[in-house]
Amino acid sequence: MATSALRPRSASEIVDAAFQILRAYYGQFVMCSALAYLPWLVLELVFLGDPEQWVGTTWWLAASAGIGVWLTFALMSAVIITCASQAYLGEPVDVARAVRRALPRLPRVLIAAVVRYFLLLLGFFALIIGSVYVVARLFALTPVIILEDGSLTQAFSRTSALSKGRKWHILNTLGLVAIIYWVIAIGVTMLAALSGSFVVQAIAGAFYTILAYPVIAITETLLYYDARIQSEGLDIELMAVELGIAPPTEPAAS
């Protein structure tokens, strides 16, 4: 997708564009999600086992597993977001280059993911709508860290600024792609459950996640760029660069 395609989009247009990018570079995105998710699958099958066996065990085991899943998705998002940015800006989609770019930023991504995880829990227990507010306000946390190389403090303040006046748009977009993702995920889970085997269920879930999750991270990336286009005129700036026109400079202070 060339820079000339950059423009403000509705929620449905963003999700449609995410599917277009996924279809165009499906192999690369599946590779990204597989690299991040397969280590968790091995951990789940070899060490954790069936969650039903955790009944009556210490609470921290379930909590640790929850955080482990959350961090796995954070890792997937980090690399996928880099590739999605390459595709959206009309650059070659290079998984190796995306991994090299994402790796130095991963500690910040993981710390931010843990903080967001606990903020969502607090928002849920305080008032369910509080977790929805957290989702909308922190929607660009990972894109800011990965694409702008922002510090943790900068990432939290930046995503808050980008979400101002756009929270309904953000929730509509993320809600739409989440419905599509989870409706199919529930169907896959129910079919796998018929086997009665934890191994089959785990492998089926992993297979679906690897194949389908990239559309979530791609949507987050496009939503980040959409916010920048609407608040900062990013589309005009990038088109000017493409045409070889220098961006305007700030006048010197007198």
The pLDDT value given to residue 122: 85
The model's confidence at residue 8, banded by pLDDT at 50, 70 and 90, is confident
Which tens digit of pLDDT belongs to each residue from 52-82?
555 555 555 556 666 777 778 888 889 999 9
Give the HSE-up count for residue 45: Cα atoms under 13 Å, Cβ half-sphere: 15
Radius of gyration of the chain (CA): 19
In angstroms, the first-to-last Cα distance of the chain is: 42
pLDDT tens-digit profile of 209-225? 999 999 999 999 999 99
Q: What is the pLDDT of residues 102-140, one digit of tens each?
A: 889 989 998 998 898 888 888 777 676 788 999 999 999
pLDDT at 250 over 80: no
Query: What b-and-e string marks burial along 198-225, b requiring 16 or more CB atoms within 10 Å of the CB?
Result: beebbebbbebbbbbbbbbbbbbbbbbb
